[in-house]
Amino acid sequence: MSEIRWDPLKGVWVIVDRERGRRLQEFLLEQPAPRVEFCPFCYGNESRTPPEIDAVRPERQPPDTPGWQVRVIPNRHPVLAIEGDLDPRGHGLYDRVNGVGAHEIVIENPDHDRDLADFAPQELVAVLHTWQRRLNDLRRDTRFRAICLFRNQGPLAGADIPHPHSQIIALPLIPPLMAAELHNCRDHFSRKERCLLCDLLRQELHTETGIVHDDGHFVALVPYASGRPFELRLVPRRHEHDFVRVGEDELLALAEVLRNVLARLRQALRTPSYRLYLRTAPPQHTRFGRPNYWTSLAHDYHWYLEIHPCLARGTGIEQATGVPVNLVAPEDAAAFLRGENPAQKR
């Protein structure tokens, strides 16, 4: 019997198939091999990318040369352009804004083949620092309402270039997924003066069934109402709405838990493709120099990381209705990632 579960953070019902006995093989999709071709992200090819915006490299080394540890460049084919003022206009019942935004690539390591799970902790911290610097820089641009960071890993996630990299997109609007979480956190806090994510974390820790890893700083868990097989959240125990404000110690702990969780996924799901998202509060800077509706919601938020492995193909029901169908019960996925054999357990 399947179950329908409500996620109060995202504000969606998800269908969870609780049928037992499906084999993991049914969820693993064949992954096309990456095409072996020229990699613009490798050492020596710096002149083949747009000029770098930021880099972690030895002092006095010139930009756009080898020797960097992390390198940030504009996306060569950005969907939004960095130039121009916002020019929002009505168009009858519709609206339009010119496509102003930023679309950047964070090249996370010189090593073309390095899996994020195999980064040394300090290498990963250098990436996390770079994420913070770019978010901090982009949020000063008052044209941008939201800055979203994501990472497509593997061919099924649409990563055309296998070299480790993440992407940052700055938007002149609050995107729907962020809007829903901000609203739901605000609703909860305004009624209870408690953070929704803190409360959800407390419940998951009490129930235990969804917990994959807990090091005292971060909890990795498969949420009770997750809409995708093996969906994971990495939630900091300390309440903080803004990833940019996270300090050195916590970043190091985050690097460790990320390595741990990615290694578990790789082991359990045979090097799956996945998507990783940073969820953090929107910037406080606004176009008219004063707080607005969205900035007022920021402090009720709680930043976290989300990982979506790309596994079983959809049924078409999610596209038709917006209701995800999760063919692996979250508690089973968590047990599997903890290394337990769920078939033996019950």
Instruction: Tell me which residues touch a copy of itself (CB under 8 A).
Output: 1-8, 12-13, 15-18, 79-81, 84, 91-99, 146, 148, 150, 152, 157-158, 167, 169, 171-173, 175-178, 196, 199-200, 203, 206-207, 224-225, 275, 277, 308, 313-317, 319-323, 325
Q: How many CB atoms lie within 10 A of CB 126?
A: 19
User: Closer to a copy of itself at the Cβ: 63 or 158?
Assistant: 158
User: Closer to a copy of itself at the Cβ: 125 or 148?
Assistant: 148
User: Closer to a copy of itself at the Cβ: 206 or 346?
Assistant: 206
Q: At closest approach, how far in Å is the CB of 253 from a copy of itself? A: 24
Q: At closest approach, how far in Å is the CB of 58 from a copy of itself? A: 32
Q: Is 6 exposed, middle or buried (0-12, 13-18, 19+ CB in 10 A)?
A: exposed
Q: How many CB atoms lie within 10 A of CB 142?
A: 14
Tokens representing 191?
């009624």
Sign, Cα dihedral of 333, 335, 336, 342 = negative
Angle of CA points 106, 109, 135, to nearest 5°: 25
Angle of CA points 35, 36, 37, to nearest 5°: 105
User: Closer to a copy of itself at the Cβ: 103 or 213?
Assistant: 103
Q: Is 18 exposed, middle or buried (0-12, 13-18, 19+ CB in 10 A)?
A: middle
Is 91 annotated as a binding-site member?
A: no
Is 163 annotated as a binding-site member?
A: yes
Q: In Å, what is the CA distance from 214 to each residue of 187, 253, 302, 345?
A: 28, 11, 18, 21
| Rounded Cα distance, 125 and 252, in Å | 6
Contact 235, 221 (CB under 8 A): yes
Q: At closest approach, how far in Å is the CB of 248 from a copy of itself? A: 27
Tokens representing 79?
């969907």
Q: At closest approach, how far in Å is the CB of 67 from a copy of itself? A: 29
Given its phi and psi angles, is residue 93 left (phi above 0), alpha (psi -120 to 50 degrees) or beta?
alpha
Is 310 annotated as a binding-site member?
A: no
Q: At closest approach, how far in Å is the CB of 119 from a copy of itself? A: 21
- What positions carry a catalytic annotation? 165
| Rounded Cα distance, 107 and 88, in Å | 33
User: Closer to a copy of itself at the Cβ: 3 or 215?
Assistant: 3
Q: At closest approach, how far in Å is the CB of 203 from a copy of itself? A: 4
Q: Is 192 helix (H, G, I), strand (E, B) or coil?
A: helix
The residue ranges of DSSP E strands in 143-283, in sequence order, are: 146-153, 165-171, 211-214, 218-221, 232-236, 274-279
User: Closer to a copy of itself at the Cβ: 109 or 166?
Assistant: 166
- Which residue positions form the known binding site for Zn(2+)? 39, 42, 112, 163
- Which residue positions form the known binding site? 39, 42, 112, 163
